[in-house]
Amino acid sequence: MKVYLDFDGTMVKHMYPAVGEPNPKAIEVVKSLFSKGWKIHLNTYRADIGFINEALDYINKAKIPLESTFLFKLKPPEWDINKAKKESTLWIDDIAPFIPMKNSMVDWEVIEEQLKMVKIL
């Protein structure tokens, strides 16, 4: 049960290289996933280009336990909640095709609804 979690445009607003304002509900939903046994893997371009510490500070302050941080970003597949459930793998990333979006960010309200719909949450 893995979550590949992006940072900019997913956890926070796009303000790269600064850290943007929190994306509403992101921390709450990620913590809910963790509490259900999902392991959180940070998957951000920041790792490739050396701006990872700001993201790690943010995640630490939010008290989200990370399983790992990838050194190079993996490209997310299309958002498909049924496939995610079947494969126990979630890619939550604003560049994932078809992922629910609002104001140029991942829409965590809709993500949460879908996670509940398939009984991940």
Rounded least distance, CB 83 to Mg ion, Å:
20
Contact 3, 30 (CB under 8 A): yes
By CB under 5 A, name the one of 33, 43, 90, 94 that touches Mg ion. Answer: 94
Give the binding range for Mg ion (CB under 5 A) out of 9-17, 25-33, 70-78, 107-115: 9-17
Our finding on whether 9 is near Mg ion (CB under 5 A) is yes
- In this structure, the dihedral spanned by the alpha carbons of residues 68, 57, 54 and 113, taken in order and rounded to 10 degrees, is 70
In terms of Cα–Cα distance, which of 33, 99, 43 is closest to 71?
Answer: 43
Token code pair at residue 17: 């290289």
Rounded least distance, CB 10 to Mg ion, Å:
5
By CB under 5 A, name the one of 6, 47, 84, 92 that touches Mg ion. Answer: 6
Our finding on whether 12 is near Mg ion (CB under 5 A) is no
Category of 54 on φ-ψ map: left (φ > 0), alpha (ψ -120 to 50) or beta: alpha
Q: Which residues of this protein are in contact with Mg ion, per CB under 5 A?
A: 6, 8-9, 94
